[in-house]
Amino acid sequence: MRITLLNGTPADARYKNFELFVEKLAIYLDKDRHTVTNLKLRNMDIKYCTGCFGCWVKNPGECLIADDSRTVRREAINCDLLVFASPIIMGFTSAILKKTMDKMIPLVHPYIEIVEKECHHRKRYDKYPSVGLILDKPTDNRADDEDIAITRRIFERLSLNLRSTLRLVAFDQTPIEEVINEINHI
């Protein structure tokens, strides 16, 4: 399976263990039977979405800003499993990851259609990857189960917008073999 890992960990000592977990997971998955592209977002030049909709009405399918989000989109649409990874900061994944999520809209079409009795954007591509989410379970009261439930719900919505399903939610406390096993069953 082709796996793209979007690692949204900020450069902060508090999140070092989380990042180690994500790095280790990437290496183990790659050693297993998968092809892993591990993108460390904080080292990439990704500009904020400006809401110009140029990716829908001027240069359909592509962001007008020539930044590294082009690599992210290329790797995201051509994989089987797209994994978002971030520690929980102020109740949600990092701003680094969020701005990258915003830059996914060129992957869908501006037209609206009815999906599950709701308005959603039409697919631009024939196939979209399954979605995975890796979070931390902080021991320092930084996040609780409610934060995790809210974050999970927002990623279920993001997956639906990408016309896909959230198939994996894992934590840095989970034994790595269990996470790999879960991924192997997707």
CB of 49 to another protein, least distance (A): 6
Choices 16-24, 128-136, 155-163, 165-173; region in contact with another protein by CB under 8 A:
155-163
- Applying CB under 8 A, does 48 fall inside the site for another protein? yes
How many residues line the site for another protein (CB under 8 A)? Answer: 53
Residue whose CB is less far from another protein, 61 or 171: 61
- Applying CB under 8 A, does 146 fall inside the site for another protein? yes
Sole binder of another protein in the list 13, 33, 119, 177 (CB under 8 A): 119
47 touches 69 (CB < 8 A) = yes
E-state strands within 34-165: 35-40, 81-85, 108-115, 118-123, 130-135
Provide the token pair at 166. Answer: 């959230």
- Applying CB under 8 A, does 1 fall inside the site for another protein? no
13 touches 48 (CB < 8 A) = no
Q: Which of residues 69-88 bind another protein (CB under 8 A)?
A: 73-74, 77-78
Sheet containing 81-85: which strands, arranged edge to edge? 35-40, 2-7, 81-85, 130-135, 166-171
Choices 15-23, 132-140, 142-150, 168-176; region in contact with another protein by CB under 8 A:
142-150
164 touches 128 (CB < 8 A) = yes
- Applying CB under 8 A, does 137 fall inside the site for another protein? no
CA distance 43 to 169: 25
Sole binder of another protein in the list 23, 30, 32, 125 (CB under 8 A): 125
